[in-house]
Amino acid sequence: MKSPASASWKAPLKFRMPTAENLIPIRLDIEVDGQRYKDAFTWNPYDPDSEVVMFAKRTVKDLKLAPGFLPQIVQSIQSQLATFRSYEGQDMYVGDKIIPIKLDLQVNHTVIRDQFLWDLNNFDSDPEEFARTLCKDLGIEDPEVGPAVAFAIREQLYEIAIQNVTSARENRISKKGRRAAEHFTPSKASGAALDLMKLFSFRSSVVRKRKEWDYYKPVLDLLSNEEVDALEAKEERSGR
């Protein structure tokens, strides 16, 4: 049973990723001399700075990229780290929030679409663990899907955490009192959170309604080579 949102306003915490490990998602999309390098991975912001250069060097060497990629990779990673650090000292409000996380990924030959609920207040949550279990349960053979799933989850959590920080900042700037902040957070919460209160009230049950089953089921597709090529071509066209 959930208590009403206004009574459960929590004191603002320092910004961090709402997961057990404070790891941030890093996305790279660099084009040099006609060669395009797209990548997405998780990074530990507490690693020393030398780590960035080492990682970039190894990536360039392993993937046999042109040496012009090296400074760009380093710069991109460092700027994303700096953005994270700029948020780091600030407060974020965390109200009662269960948010839906959507996955819509295409990794090599596997397409996965899924939607599930994630508790933002659970600072012990582990997207990596979730991704590993998901891949094992669905019997996904391609080992590259796991990291992609974990990354997608982290990215969405990161976005929402940033939104919380900016909403906290706006509250302070507009000098609204405590009351207003309380009202603010539930109203800012996505519609899903409010609906959940109705769901979890004493009148309805916790078991999901049948018609919603389809929304919350993972969908897994294996594509053939032609479909993969077709998708890539479509992406490039839309990119242009």
Partner 1 sequence: MAEKSPVKEAASSESIPISNSNQLKPSPQLPSKFSSQTAPNSEVPSTPTSRPPSADADVVYVPSYSRWFSWDKIDSCESRFLPEFFDGRSASKGPSLYIYYRNSIIKLFRENPSRKITFTDVRKTLVGDVGSIRRVFDFLDHWGLINYSASSALSKPSKDTGSNIKSSDSPSVESPSSAAPTSKHSSNSRRICGACKSLCTIACFVCDKYDSTLCARCYVRGNFRVGLSNADFRRVEITDEAKADWSEKETLLLLEAIMHYGDDWKKVAQHVGGRTDKDCVAHFVKLPFGEEYLGHPLSNDHESGFETNKRMCLTPLADASNPIMAQAAFLSALAGVEIAEAAAQAAVSVLSQVDDITASRVGSGSLERNSKRESEISSNGDTNQNALERAAYADANSLLDKEEQDIERAITGITEVQMKEIQDKFLRFEEMDLQTEKERQQLESMKNLLFIDQLNLSFRRNYT
DSSP-assigned letters across all residues of 108-119: TTEEEEEEEEEE
- By CB under 8 A, name the one of 33, 62, 214, 226 that touches partner 1: 62
* 43 part of the interface to partner 1, by CB under 8 A: yes
Binding mask 136-155 for partner 1 (x = CB under 8 A): -------xx-xx-xx-----
Smaller CB distance to partner 1: residue 52 or 189? 52
Smaller CB distance to partner 1: residue 107 or 197? 107
* 226 part of the interface to partner 1, by CB under 8 A: no
- By CB under 8 A, name the one of 12, 28, 32, 59 that touches partner 1: 59
Length of the chain equals 240
* 27 part of the interface to partner 1, by CB under 8 A: no
* 21 part of the interface to partner 1, by CB under 8 A: yes
- Torsion sign over Cα 77, 14, 193, 132: positive
Distance of alpha carbon 190 from the chain centroid: 16
Whole-number minimum distance, CB 114 to partner 1, in Å?
16
Whole-number minimum distance, CB 64 to partner 1, in Å?
10
DSSP-assigned letters across all residues of 154-201: HHHHHHHHHHHHHHHHHHHHTT--HHHHHHHHHHHS-HHHHHHHHHTS
Report yes or no: 19 and 4 within 8 Å, Cβ to Cβ. Answer: no
Whole-number minimum distance, CB 38 to partner 1, in Å?
12
3-state DSSP assignment of residue 221: strand
